Amino acid sequence: MGGYGDVQLLRDDGKRLDGRALDELRPVTVEAGVLPAADGSARVTHGLNVAVVAVYGPMEAHPRKIQRQDRAVIDVRYNMAPFSTSDRIRPGFNRRSREISKVTAEALESVVLVERFPRSKIRVEIEILAAEAGTRCVGITAAAVALADAGIPMRDLIVGVASGKIEDTVVLDLDKAEDNYGQADLPVGILPNTGEVAFLQMDGDLSPDEFNLAMEYNFKAAGEIHDIMVEALQRRYEGGEA
Amino acid sequence: MVDLVPTLLRQELSRLADADQRLDGRSRWGSRDVTLETDCLYNAEGSAKVTIGGTIVYAGVKFELRTPWPDRPAQGSLMCGAELRPVAGRKYEPGPPSPQSIELGRVVDRGIRESGCIDMAELCIVPGEKVWGVMIDLHVLSDQGNIFDACGLAAIAALRTAVVPAERFDVGEDHTLSVNGTPIMASFTRVGGRYVLDASEEEELGGDERIHITLGDKGHLHSLQKGLKGVFTPAEFAEIFEVAQTRCVELRKLVAEQEAN
């Protein structure tokens, strides 16, 4: 986390700088089936974040050494476009994107019914086009919708969401200023139907009570985002309202 | 991954060419629908999204402060790069920039640079010390054919909406980047033995060489490129050059309409 304390992030009326309540999400929109070349795809906007995900497969896994006899491997690439941040990012993988790709792949492997597709590979390409804090969560949400759009069976639609701490107060869904000047960030990937957690990271400083409250916020928000994801898939496949 | 070109596809394309037809029913010089959206990326200083049929491309413009090249102390710089990441299609794989993506970025770069639409001297802040570097990044999200034209259009449209973020770098007030001209690319692919405009993914798969022509506002040539294996005759070039003139005028109009909105 960035610097502490010297930047005011909560208003005198107890709300946040952008007017949100402590447990309020930024606006979320979800659209399924946005990339004609992909087998499944989705676009998710979350606040000013924009993530687009393409799913390819299941396909033959090569090189052969990555094949698993009893299940599919999930190959995730999380990538920030060079123009997605305030300062341009040099194209290509860096340590941060490699780590996020790895833990995201492991989260998705816990959700996709990988044992249905032995020896195959499912490619999940997460492209962040605009970043405003919380991109790994937006990527996970978009990946879940894209996998569903590709017709790949899953135990649940995994939802990426984060809570954190600003000015010693637990809040849901940090924006950029709150992320830069806050005290903690707790991004998770939640399976709303089963109540399980498949993705977990955290940095900063949280007391056990603060952690419990942050998780409570995350579970509540995951339910809200899950509804939006389901609606998007219904719009695409049922051609009507939810 | 090696493209497996079905012999049947080549035969079919050849048969269609003899009857002056195309797979999707277009005429030889017909284009798929082209859409252009600008100012669509929140962190980019200029941005554009272009779709041509099922092809989707984004361009984002970023600025950075840098020291000028020693031989051009009073000039800024322009760089256009393209990424063909695995998101764009089944055939793309992760790894260092492929020769295809480097070619794509450089062909678009030349068209813009050589048209002279950006005055490099205007990008100078303190001669010998501080100049603007303008970076155009092209991001292909879905390749269903003719990514060159999509990238060329996205790049110039994004550039024309760019705002120089001088305040953020503490070197004056934000101002729009001055861009004098709208260079436009038109690409042709040999399919079934003859050239067609705006080849689809299947036509590229079963086709041969391609030619990219970038024209400025006055119809002058600013960049040419022949890609892939194949040869052409001057008569063939004369024919597509004429089509390119019309095509570029149409796409330039699309940019102007978008700006007027």
**Nearest-CA residue of chain B relative to A58?**
B90
- State yes or no: pLDDT of A240 exceeds 60: no
- What local confidence, expressed as pLDDT, does residue A242 receive? 44
Spatial contact of B51 and B45, defined as CB atoms under 8 Å apart: no
Nearest-CB residue to B64 (from A34, A84, A88):
A88
**Nearest-CA residue of chain B relative to A86?**
B43
A195 — alpha (psi -120 to 50), left (phi > 0) or beta?
Answer: left
- State yes or no: pLDDT of B252 exceeds 90: yes
- What local confidence, expressed as pLDDT, does residue B4 receive? 66
- What local confidence, expressed as pLDDT, does residue A76 receive? 97
Structure tokens at A95: 């340590």
E-strand ranges in chain A read: 28-32, 40-46, 49-60, 73-80, 120-130, 159-166, 169-172, 184-191, 196-200, 203-204
**Lowest-confidence region among A217-226, B88-97, B210-219:** B88-97
State the average pLDDT over residues B169-185: 96
Q: What is the ipTM of this complex?
A: 0.85
The answer to whether the CB atoms of B87 and A48 lie below 8 A apart is no
- What local confidence, expressed as pLDDT, does residue B22 receive? 97
Residue B195 at interface with chain A, using a CB cutoff of 8 Å: no
Taking only the tens place, the pLDDT of each residue in B143-174 is 999 999 999 999 999 999 999 999 999 999 99
- State yes or no: pLDDT of A54 exceeds 80: yes
- What local confidence, expressed as pLDDT, does residue B5 receive? 72
Q: What is the reported pTM?
A: 0.90
Confidence band for B95, pLDDT divided at 50, 70 and 90: confident
Residue B45: phi and psi, rounded to 5, are: -80, -15
Spatial contact of A174 and A193, defined as CB atoms under 8 Å apart: no
**Nearest-CA residue of chain A relative to B61?**
A83
pLDDT > 90: percent of chain A? 90
Confidence band for A7, pLDDT divided at 50, 70 and 90: confident
Confidence band for A6, pLDDT divided at 50, 70 and 90: low
- What local confidence, expressed as pLDDT, does residue A92 receive? 81
